[in-house]
Amino acid sequence: MSSAANNPSNSTAATGLNPGLLRSLFPVLHQQVKGQPLAYLDNAATTQTPLPVQQAMLDFEQHHRANIHRGVHLLSQRATDAFDAARATLKAFVGASSQQELVFTTGTTEALNMVAQGLWLGGSGHAWLRPGDEIIVSGLEHHANLIPWQHAARMTGAKLRILLPDAQGQVHLADLQALISDKTRVFAITAAANATGERPPYEAMLTLAKQAGALTVLDAAQAVGHTMPALADLDCDFCAFSGHKMYGPMGTGALVGQRAALERLYPLRLGGDMVEWVEYDSAGYAAVPTRLEGGTPNVTGAVGLAAAADFIEHIGRAHIDAHIAQLRAQAVAGLQALEGLTLYAPHASHAALVSFVVDDVHPHDIGTLLDERGIAVRTGHHCAEPLHNHLGKGPTTRASFALYNTEDEVRRLIDGVAHALQVMR
């Protein structure tokens, strides 16, 4: 990749990013949709992969592909080295401490299930959750950070308590203080809400929960690609993220955890590669992270995910964050000027998306009319149905931004929404 991609002298934006140059690294963006240039504004669902990520995976497939750990032959050793190197790259990328370890997963959903199920799967002798214990989950969560906790509560007799947001969709430290007690065993929260863009004060909340003796869980799916403190600076026992939301491959991701916390988890996947010894009636499990990675992992995906982390580091998270903030501010200003439109979390800091409802117009109609203009957005509940029900405004239209989006695309979004409102009213 050319380092000119973030060379301020080529910059068209005050943020130091040159989206035009960056876009040349994303072939998928260069196509017409319904006769218009594609404006891809569905990045909170999935970002696109740049050529360096595609190339890293192709290179692995063409030259090094073999199963890891089991072979003495050269290709297996190279594949093992590539997998280990990917783990090291990603640990550095998230700023893990020396006590933190990274487990490869298929994404955020699997990582969160690994935690929520792993805390009781081992049976009553091992279980972290017992009848009468409490699990606190924020009310901003994607279903992936709610349903596994509902299940864990059902299976263990623990009680699920929700840290409800106020009418503006904000959660407050004082409310968490009121909920937390010596019964709290788990606290789980998102670093950025995928449905509204709200950024909760998760740093202070994790610290509060940790001080109360709970295990703390952070869903970083919507933050890891552009904004997030180093994990070593957070009171976070477990952190989950997905590759496809950070310019990496689909079906990849990770669970990063304090080693001692990961050791509490009973593995979801029992079988090959996660054992030290096996007899017909018993087995000794390997140390973490291997113990939690049963079966053949997605080595090509891990290589691609590490290349995505390198790509982000090369551009610079601060540059990406500033560029996205600028686009979001433009979108917020333009959309707020439209009559009858209500934006969620207009003042959220570091948000990468705008989510809105319009009086008497269904979001699917807006999304369809935008698609007619080549503009890709997402409409619906964004896998956060309880939050939408709580806020009482129904499904939303969501436009979400990435480093390759441009001011022109945001202008097209605003014009497209204005046009949709004219047509639908």
Site for ligand PMP contains 267 (CB under 6 A): no
Which residues between 270 and 309 bind ligand PMP (CB under 6 A)?
none
Burial class of 337 by CB neighbour count within 10 A (0 to 12, 13 to 18, 19+): exposed
For 324, list phi and psi in degrees, rounded to 5: -65, -40
Both tokens of 210, joined, read: 């940790």
Site for ligand PMP contains 39 (CB under 6 A): no
Q: How many CA atoms lie within 13 A of 313 on its CB side?
A: 14
Q: Could you say which of 21, 270, 376, 383 is catalytic?
A: 383
Site for ligand PMP contains 219 (CB under 6 A): yes
Both tokens of 12, joined, read: 């068209």
Site for ligand PMP contains 345 (CB under 6 A): no
Site for ligand PMP contains 351 (CB under 6 A): no
**Between 95 and 251, whose beta carbon lies closer to ligand PMP?**
251
**Between 194 and 379, whose beta carbon lies closer to ligand PMP?**
194
For residue 172, the one-letter residue type is H
Both tokens of 419, joined, read: 């046009």
- 340-341-343 Cα angle (round to 5): 150
* In contact, 244 and 250? CB cutoff 8 Å: yes
* In contact, 64 and 55? CB cutoff 8 Å: no
Site for ligand PMP contains 224 (CB under 6 A): no
Site for ligand PMP contains 42 (CB under 6 A): no
Site for ligand PMP contains 396 (CB under 6 A): no
Site for ligand PMP contains 246 (CB under 6 A): no
Q: How far is the CB of 302 from ligand PMP (least distance, A)?
A: 15
Site for ligand PMP contains 257 (CB under 6 A): no
- Pick the closest to residue 309 from 257, 218, 246 (CA basis): 246
Residue with tokens 């840290």: 163
* In contact, 356 and 342? CB cutoff 8 Å: yes
Site for ligand PMP contains 373 (CB under 6 A): no
Buried b / exposed e along 6-45 (16+ C-beta atoms within 10 A): beeeebebebbbbbebbbebbeebeeeeeeebbbbbbbbb
Q: How far is the CB of 45 from ligand PMP (least distance, A)?
A: 6
**Between 18 and 109, whose beta carbon lies closer to ligand PMP?**
109
Query: From the list 89, 117, 138, 194, which residue makes contact with ligand PMP (rule: CB under 6 A)?
Result: 194
**Between 18 and 300, whose beta carbon lies closer to ligand PMP?**
300
Site for ligand PMP contains 107 (CB under 6 A): yes
Query: From the list 109, 113, 216, 405, which residue makes contact with ligand PMP (rule: CB under 6 A)?
Result: 109
- Pick the closest to residue 302 from 366, 360, 345, 252 (CA basis): 252
Catalytic-residue membership of 239: no
**Number of residues counted as binding ligand PMP (CB under 6 A):** 14
Span of 142-150, 173-181, 261-269, 369-377 interacting with ligand PMP by CB under 6 A: 142-150
Positions in the binding site for ligand PMP (CB under 6 A): 45, 107-109, 142, 144-145, 190, 194, 219, 221-222, 242, 383
Instruction: List, by residue number, the catalytic residues.
Output: 383
